[in-house]
Amino acid sequence: MPISEGRFVWHDLATTDVDGARTFYGAIAPWTTKAWDDDGEYFLWEREGKAVGGVSRLTASDGQSSRPPAWMPSVYVYDVDACVRRVPKLGGRVLLAPREIPDVGCWAMIAGPDGAPLGIFEPSQGAPHGHDGKPGVGEFTWHELAAPDWRESWKFYSQLFHWETVEEHDMGENGIYFVFGLKGVSLGGMWSTGGKFPSEWTSYVAVPSVNAAIEQVRAHGGKVVREPHAVPDGTWIAHCADPQGATFAITSATA
């Protein structure tokens, strides 16, 4: 099935320890890694032979050396250059200008008014990685933005990517958890931190069992930031950090 513009299609981990990351995440998700032919320093995360993202070392050349280790999702757009031109007009910033990756496509890094880095990607030919429809185990299933004011961020992203409102959950004193999507499919959520926490996107990956996965997180030197718990749709989630401090979340149908 062709993938729609506005979908999350790629997930990059920039880290200080590529080999350690390959071992750590391979023990948690059903992933293998393969060196990218054009760059021996960049490895692809693969699920059943299909790439879901990549991992590289933090370097000064790409403007990332000052950033801590982190995951960053990328959104598929039809025209990166046109999208980048709209970013400042809508209240965002261009963190890295568009760059061509030979035989792959064009990529840029932006941020909304919240300041959280986000990639945008335009493939050079054919469809991007991923698919419409429900993600499977080993795929990224959810993307969550922690922002000072989710409403301000939503105004930016809804205009840039044409995302749609799905629903809102009242979390009491924690405020509203806002769910967004595309063409009837939920893609992720947003919530307001009030500036108490750093703005960031958190990517969730589906695993066979959250409880089994957090055992591997601890065994391989990571941390469980938030213990497993059920969410309103009945699935289970947990928030974690790898040994280098990059945060991510895991989810499964049952604990």
> Which amino acid, residue 28?
I
Per-residue pLDDT of the chain (255 residues; tens, 9 = 90+): 457 899 999 999 999 999 999 999 999 999 999 998 666 789 999 999 999 999 999 976 555 556 799 999 999 999 999 999 999 999 999 999 999 998 899 999 999 999 999 999 999 987 777 767 778 899 999 999 999 999 999 999 999 999 999 999 999 988 999 999 998 899 999 999 998 889 999 999 999 999 999 999 999 999 999 999 999 889 999 999 999 999 999 999 999
Q: Is residue 176 part of a domain?
A: yes
Sign of CA dihedral 244, 12, 119, 9: negative
Q: Which of 89, 123, 157 is the last residue of a domain?
A: 123
CATH at residue 211: 3.10.180.10
pTM here is 0.93
Task: Provide the number of structural domains found in the chain.
Answer: 2
Q: Are 187 and 7 in contact (CB under 8 A)?
A: yes
Report yes or no: 47 and 40 within 8 Å, Cβ to Cβ: no
Domain of residue 246 covers 140-252
Residue 210 backbone phi and psi in degrees, to 5:
-60, -45
User: DSSP string covering 182-205, please?
Assistant: ETTEEEEEEEE-TTSS--EEEEEE
The domain boundary residue, chosen from 123, 150, 172: 123
Q: Give the integer Cα–Cα distance in Å for 84 and 93.
A: 9
